[in-house]
Amino acid sequence: MKLNGTDIRRVAGSLHQHVGMVFQDAEHQIIGQTVREDLAFGPIHHGMPLSEVESRVTWMMGQVGLEDRADADPHTLSGGELRRLAVAGVVITGARYVILDEPFSSLDPPGVREVLSAVLHLRSQGCGIMIITHELEKVLAHADRLVILHRGRIETDSHPEAALEQLPRFQLRRPPGSLKEMTWHE
């Protein structure tokens, strides 16, 4: 596997500076008593000056649509807000690539749209996104590539349109409609 053309085994010790992970249970990544405190933890831990931390936290809350929840206890956030906070917590420390594990799990339709909107916004800002999911219909319309893992092996790595035809080979249901019709993004 390569990152920016470099074999990741050669840069394994510094991957954490470039790649962040949002786990399926995003609440396990939240440690602050408020949204603002949670977002500030990473930059402070990395030695960023407090003046820069404050401006970066404010900016990041705007990037993921949490500016109105800055002083909220993270435990009072909706599922979609919690996932967006976890994504922001990864990106704020400088990660240019984000891996999301089942980011739509247990979310209602508005939560799915909120998370997808935040992820697509980050992608438009140059952040590389990898989504691991069984819910293909929520991401296929926005994917550049679809990689199908089957029994621990990469079986397909292609454009989503081409990969759609191969789904039945792996006991995966082809979502109805065209790729364009599959979007959950408004």
Each residue's pLDDT, cut to its tens digit, for the chain (186 residues) gives 666 676 666 666 666 667 889 999 988 999 999 999 999 999 999 899 999 999 999 999 999 999 999 999 999 999 999 999 999 999 998 888 999 999 999 889 888 888 898 899 889 989 999 999 988 888 888 899 989 888 889 888 899 888 888 888 888 888 887 777 777 766
| Backbone conformation region of residue 168, classed left if phi is above 0, alpha if psi is from -120 to 50, else beta | alpha
Look at residue 170 and give its three-state secondary structure.
helix
Say how far apart CA 109 and CA 129 lie, in whole Å: 21
Look at residue 14 and give its three-state secondary structure.
helix
Domain map of the chain by residue range?
A: 2-133, 136-186
Residue with tokens 């069984």: 134
Active site positions, annotated: 102
Residue with tokens 């786990």: 23
Nearest Cα residue to 106 out of 140, 64, 148, 78: 78
Answer yes or no: CATH 3.10.129.10 is held by domain 2-133.
no
User: What pTM value is reported for the model?
Assistant: 0.84
